[in-house]
Amino acid sequence: MAQRRVTDFFARRRRGPPACLPRAKQALRTPSPAKPAPGVPAPALSDPPGGSRPVGGEGGETEARAGGGRPRGRGTSGVPGVLTLAHCGSFPTQVPSPSSSVASGSPAHSPLSKKIKKATIPAGQLPCLAAQGDKISRKDTVSELQACLQRARELGARVQALRAHAQEEDAEKSAMPEPERGPVEPCGEKVPAYQRFHVLAQPGIPGLALPYKYQMLAEMFRSMDTVVGMLYNRAEAVTFAKVKQGVQDMMRRRFEERNVGQIKTVYPASYRFRQERNIPTFKDGIKRSDYQLTIEPLLDQEASGVAPQLTASRLLQRRHIFSQNLVARVKEHHKAFLATLDPPMEVPEDQLTRWHPRFNVDEVPDIEPAELPRPPPTEKLATAQEVLARARSLMSPRMEKALSDLALRTAKPSSPGSPCPVLPANPPATPSALKGVSQALLERIRVKEAQKQLAQMTRRPEQEQRLRRLERLPELARVLRGIFVSERKPALTMEVACARMVGSYHTPMSPGDMEQHLQLLAELLPDWLSLHHIRTDTYLKLDKAADLAGLTVRLARLARTEEGL
């Protein structure tokens, strides 16, 4: 039997049942024809409305013959109008789609670019393949739903477990004792980190450093004293408005009356404050009759009877007194902190050279401002009763009644504002990790730690410097022995040895500092390193046969002894 042409097949088809699964038709987006009865041949496809003819007519057949079997129409989509039966079974053949005839009839498409093969599947097997595809797709859908349901159950179990774990952690945190707290700050915005940890970022050897707010107050006093000194030496009236503008220009910070009150609290004998008027200000906002706060520096009278001047030496002296007063205030808070320790400590103020390691200097309470003079009260009608007493004869009865009601309402005392709650400091409790440890051992450890901290707080700066040199000596001893071995000389001059050690030591150091380290090393280990002064030079002689490990142990023991352990 001769092979039929595809154009004849499309000419005989009608709109009937789908040739394959709806899944394949949705992928190609073709119209869904009606489903024919099984075993009935597909009738011919009728002409579509509008007079357009499907692909495979007489003209198309003639062009296919003339073009070597390539069918052409007035317009095609360039994609073969076939449906793949991969979802319907294991058939590799292809079945032509009825949508290709409709698509090929439109003039907007291009000619077909591929040959259309003829389907070899009988029409009676298509419904069976469709039913088989439906079963397979249903099985796949059920398995996917079961997998999703199982996954959702697992996720729900994990969420419940995590929630229970979080609740247990919250309960443990609430049961644990709170750590030791410093002084409670007043309610307000949180202080920035560069202010809260200002002392920790200070360079050099730690000492009696002031908190950030105290240092800012000391700088304000210096600027205020400078401005007041210039105005006072010129015999000019020193008002707060002038001082405020000058201090803000110098510091680039706000300067208010509260800061002046703090300065008066720290150094009461620095200024005399008064409220005066009839002072020329040459400003539109301030009248001559208004009261202004005037500032006068308190200076010692000179023997010659001349009016004292605020000279540079007096400015330095006043600044030094102000700094000492600030340090004294911090020492008071430090003393109160030492009394709360276990065991309590007491350090004489004249021997204190640094703060306790656990004393947070930046959390020292702020200085309370002192009361400044206020303008004398002027007679003003502030309440409704005063207004009623003054203008009783000038008002109508209705207005008089309204003012009486207002006076009764304003006479009721208002409820005072609730103060900021102060959290009580919890006493230190024994942590859970130390449960079961002997209390006598804990007491000995605390006493030893207190002795160490006491020695650290009363250590002088020169002792601190010597201790730092002792800590570097073990490493410097190893470097010095290596230099003598590499030089292969029995003695070296101090200048050469210092130059070699500065280049070999891991920390930058000047030759002068290195010479002081070598002198200390010769003082502590005279049997290993000796200094010989010959004319203008100093020579170093080293015992290369000595045990270096034993020497480093001796140096470490000496460092611990100096530290007070």
Q: CA angle 168-173-178, nearest 5°?
A: 165
Whether 352 and 468 share a structural domain: no
Among 363, 379, 394, the domain-final residue is: 363
Given a contact cutoff of 8 angstroms between Cβ atoms, the answer to whether 70 and 115 are in contact is yes
Same-domain check for residues 356 and 469:
no
Q: Please give the pLDDT value at position 94.
A: 44
- Would you state the pLDDT for residue 3? 58
**Per-residue pLDDT band at 169 (split at 50, 70, 90):** confident
CA angle 103-107-113, nearest 5°?
Answer: 60
DSSP-based three-state secondary structure for 137: helix
What is the structure's pLDDT at 86?
40
**pLDDT at position 446:** 85
- pTM, full prediction: 0.50
- Least Cα distance to 10 among 79, 91, 71, 93 occurs for 71
Assess whether pLDDT exceeds 80 at residue 487.
yes
Tokens, residue 77: 């989509």
Q: Give the three-class secondary structure for 95.
A: strand
Cβ atoms within 10 Å, residue 297: 21
pLDDT confidence band for 300 (50 / 70 / 90)? confident
Q: Indicate if the pLDDT at residue 231 is higher than 70.
A: yes
96 or 468, greater pLDDT: 468
- Say how many CA atoms lie within 13 Å of 501 toward its Cβ: 28
522 assigned to some structural domain? yes
Decide if 220 contacts 459 (C-beta within 8 A).
Answer: no
- pLDDT, position 420: 46
In a domain, 74, yes or no: no
Q: What is the pLDDT of residue 293?
A: 92
Confidence of residue 405 (pLDDT cuts 50, 70, 90): confident
Helical segments of 13-125, H only:
22-28, 58-66, 99-105
Range from 114-128, 240-254, 388-402 that averages highest in pLDDT: 240-254
Q: Is 184 domain-assigned?
A: no
Which pLDDT score, from 0 to 100, does residue 101 have? Answer: 40
Residue with tokens 């206020």: 374
Q: With 70 as the cut, is the pLDDT of residue 31 above it?
A: no
Cis before 343? omega within 30? yes
pLDDT of residue 304: 67
Average the pLDDT over each of 173-187, 337-351, 408-422, 443-457 and give the range with the smallest value.
Answer: 173-187
Cα separation, 467 vs 525, whole angstroms:
16
What is the model's pLDDT at position 105? 43
- In a domain? residue 266: yes
What average pLDDT does the structure give for the chain?
Answer: 74
Token duo for residue 98: 């009825």
Q: Region 142-146: what's the mean pLDDT?
A: 87
Q: What are 258-278's pLDDT values in tens digits?
A: 999 999 999 999 999 999 988
The number of CA neighbours under 13 Å toward the Cβ of 173 is: 6
Lowest mean pLDDT among 199-208, 212-221, 290-299, 407-416: 407-416
Residue 422 has pLDDT above 70, yes or no: no
pLDDT higher than 70, residue 134 = no
Residue 327: strand, helix, or coil: helix
Q: What is the mean pLDDT of residues 239-246?
A: 93
Specify the CATH number for the domain of residue 490: 1.10.10.1420
**Length of the chain, in residues:** 565
Task: Please check the confidence at residue 342 and state whether its pLDDT lies above 90.
Answer: no
Establish if 137 belongs to a structural domain.
no
CB 100 within 8 A of CB 7: no
pLDDT tens digits along 50-86:
444 444 444 444 444 444 444 444 444 444 444 444 4
Question: 345, 363, 381: which is the final residue of a domain?
Answer: 363
Q: What is the per-residue pLDDT for 213?
A: 92
Alpha-carbon distance of 211 to 445, in angstroms, equals: 31
Number of domain units in the chain: 2
Closest by CA position to 517, among listed 467, 560, 453, 481: 467
In this prediction, residues 224-244 reach a mean pLDDT of: 93
Query: What are the structure tokens assigned to 54, written together?
Result: 């499907």
Give the per-residue pLDDT at 13: 56
Calculate mean pLDDT across residues 20-39. 47
pLDDT(250) > 60: yes
* 350 plus 477 within the same structural domain: no
* Domain contains 470: yes
* pLDDT greater at residue 4 or residue 58: 4
Q: What are phi and psi of 294, to 5 degrees?
A: -105, 150
pLDDT level of residue 434 (50, 70, 90 thresholds): confident
Give the per-residue pLDDT at 166.
87
Domain span at residue 288 reads: 194-300+309-363
Sole residue written with tokens 């919890």:
426
Percent of the chain whose predicted confidence (pLDDT) is above 90: 30
Has residue 42 got a pLDDT over 80? no
The answer on pLDDT for 188 being more than 70 is no
Residue 131 lies in a domain: no
Q: Which residues pair with 530 in a beta bridge?
A: 541
Which structure tokens are listed for 45? 């496809």
pLDDT tens string 526-547: 999 999 988 888 999 998 888 8
Is 277 contained in some domain?
Answer: yes
Both 355 and 471 in one domain: the answer is no
What mean pLDDT do residues 378-388 have? Answer: 66
Provide the pLDDT for residue 350. 85
